């Protein structure tokens, strides 16, 4: 049995999740739900693991920029909301029946991913200046898929380029392929009273493989990320 997620259903689920998260935050008379909020910016390299044989270009290693907020949640947990943005090129392989990454010279579709994450974080103070974080949660990859810019290629007619772009968009937005559970570990160093330097390692899991029924290589759909963050307490 196949499951399809509509845009309206996704928006409804996202709104419900946000309302639940804010309702669960502890409230105080002094500051309400925003007491103890930390804000951060982050930069990462994301590794999109692929096994496309000779039907695509090598595995994308993409820079991503992001921002986030860390909010108090219960006594020993915090809740992080993050947004990371990346961009790359894809095409659609009729042999594999799925999108494959393409280098710039072979570009067909431009995919810009807005990776929205919600994760529970458990911090551990190792020293007065050092904190280790372990976390896990859910991420939604909200991909914007358009025809790549400045395409003039007599060997690949625009009709086929539009066809591939439509297929890439349909694939990424169907059957919950935008849903990616995430786990990670990080470490923060206090530089001064108003600034912390952090290092993070994250892994996103292609949970959609459990229900799509596709026969895929073992690494297909997995992502790894390594980066730094700057936090303002």
Dump pLDDT digits (tens) for 24-52. Answer: 444 433 445 566 899 999 999 999 999 88
- Which pLDDT score is estimated for 74? 83
164 domain residue, yes or no: yes
Question: Is residue 143, in this structure, part of any structural domain at all?
Answer: yes
Give the pLDDT confidence of 134-167 residue by residue, as tens digits: 999 999 999 999 998 866 654 567 888 899 999 9
Q: In angstroms, what CA-CA distances link 142 with 51, 108, 117, 216?
A: 23, 19, 11, 22
Domain range for 181 is 37-232
Tokens standing for 17?
């999740």
DSSP 148-189: PSS---TTS-HHHHHHHHHHHHHHHHSTTTTEEEEEEEEEEE
Question: Which pLDDT score, from 0 to 100, does residue 153 have?
Answer: 57
Q: Is residue 217 a part of any domain in this protein? A: yes
Other Cβ atoms less than 10 A from the Cβ of 127: the count is 8
Residue 16 lies in a domain: no
Is residue 1's pLDDT more than 50?
no
pLDDT tens-digit map of 123-136: 999 999 999 999 99
Q: 210-230, pLDDT tens digit by residue?
A: 999 999 999 999 999 999 999
Distance CA 104, CA 98 (A): 19
Q: Looking at the domain assignment, is residue 49 inside a domain?
A: yes
- Is 7 a member of any domain? no
Mean pLDDT, rounded, of the chain? 85
User: Torsion over CA of 17, 23, 25 and 31, rounded to 10 degrees?
Assistant: 130
Q: What is the pLDDT of residue 4?
A: 40
DSSP SS3 for 136: strand
Instruction: Give the count of domains, the chain.
Output: 1
Q: Residue 2 pLDDT more than 50?
A: no
CATH number at residue 109: 2.40.160.20
| C-alpha closest to that of 138 among 14, 31, 32 | 14
What lies within 8 Å, CB to CB, of 112 at 6+ separation is 85, 86, 87, 143, 144
pTM assigned to the model? 0.82
Collect all residues with Cβ–Cβ distance below 8 Å to 69 and sequence separation of at least 6: 37, 38, 39, 40, 80, 81
């Amino acid at each position: 049995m196949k499951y399809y997620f509509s845009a309206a259903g996704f928006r409804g689920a996202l709104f419900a999740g946000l309302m639940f998260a804010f309702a669960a935050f502890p409230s105080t008379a002094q500051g309400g739900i925003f007491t103890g909020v930390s804000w951060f910016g982050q930069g990462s390299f994301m590794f999109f693991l692929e096994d496309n044989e000779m039907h695509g270009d090598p595995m994308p290693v993409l820079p991503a920029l992001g921002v986030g907020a860390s909010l108090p949640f219960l006594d020993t947990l915090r809740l992080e909301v993050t947004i990371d943005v990346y961009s790359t090129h894809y095409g659609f392989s009729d042999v594999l029946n799925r999108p494959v990454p393409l280098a710039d010279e072979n570009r067909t579709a431009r995919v810009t991913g807005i990776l929205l994450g919600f994760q529970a974080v458990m911090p551990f103070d190792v020293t007065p200046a050092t904190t280790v974080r372990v976390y896990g949660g859910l991420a939604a990859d909200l991909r914007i898929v358009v025809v790549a810019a400045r395409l003039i290629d007599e060997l690949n007619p625009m009709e086929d380029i539009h066809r591939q772009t439509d297929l890439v968009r349909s694939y990424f937005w169907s059957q919950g392929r935008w849903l990616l559970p995430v786990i990670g570990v990080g470490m923060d160093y206090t530089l001064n009273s108003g600034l912390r330097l952090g290092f993070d390692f994250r892994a996103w899991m292609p949970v959609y493989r459990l229900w799509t029924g596709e026969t895929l290589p073992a690494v297909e759909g997995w992502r790894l990320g390594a980066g730094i963050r700057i936090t303002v307490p």
